[in-house]
């Protein structure tokens, strides 16, 4: 049990976003508090309301939305996170992270956090195998970010290969392992 730990769950715009409520439920099973950040593209696949109901917390989508819960959303969410999980992580968000692009709430939060970052890619197998995607994954690994490798199988577009979101228990195990490790306190 990880009572008192907080996971900020970043959801990017891929069809695998439909699995996000199950990820939230599994995180809550291990007594983790979950806050969600969605990209605008993710909100095309699943609604913020669905994730708000599942997480029982406000969901952040717009970087410039004013909420009384958070002063400056990307800083507040980065600070509250014991771990930042991005699932599903599209090729787009992985590229942004790899190159320090901060043009939405999720990418700015990644840059602002000192918490461990776990990335669970999910995309078309050809996109996953593309040299640019592989180079971006190598780069985020160099940053010390953790990758939960996608699985082989048939994807939503009908293509078979490596690119499907890892099974949820595999993702939860990665989160549990990292949250169980004591981190040194970083003075800011």
From CA 88, how far away is CA 15, in angstroms rounded? Answer: 8
Contact 62, 43 (CB under 8 A): no
Rg of the chain over Cα atoms, rounded to whole angstroms, equals 15
Catalytic residue among 49, 156, 157, 170: 157
Residues linked to residue 164 through DSSP beta bridges, in sequence order = 151
Q: How many CB atoms within 10 Å of residue 11?
A: 32
Active site annotation includes 157: yes
From CA 25, how far away is CA 94, in angstroms rounded? Answer: 24
Which residues are designated catalytic?
A: 157
């Amino acid at each position: 049990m990880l009572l008192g730990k907080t996971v900020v769950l970043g959801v990017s715009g891929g069809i695998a976003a439909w699995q996000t409520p199950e990820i939230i439920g599994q995180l809550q099973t291990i007594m983790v508090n979950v806050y969600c950040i969605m990209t605008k593209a993710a909100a095309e696949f699943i609604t913020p309301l669905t994730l708000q109901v599942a997480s029982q917390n406000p969901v952040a989508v717009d970087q410039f939305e004013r909420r009384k819960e958070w002063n400056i959303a990307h800083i507040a969410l980065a600070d509250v996170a014991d771990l930042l999980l991005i699932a599903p992580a599209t090729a787009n968000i992985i590229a942004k992270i790899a190159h320090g692009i901060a043009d939405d709430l999720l990418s700015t939060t990644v840059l602002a956090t000192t918490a461990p970052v776990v990335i669970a890619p999910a995309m078309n197998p050809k996109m996953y195998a593309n040299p640019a995607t592989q180079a971006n994954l190598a780069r985020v690994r160099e940053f010390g970010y953790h990758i939960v490798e996608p699985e082989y199988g048939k994807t939503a577009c009908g293509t078979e290969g490596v690119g499907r979101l890892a099974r949820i228990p595999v993702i939860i195990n990665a989160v549990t392992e990292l949250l169980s490790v004591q981190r040194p306190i970083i003075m800011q």
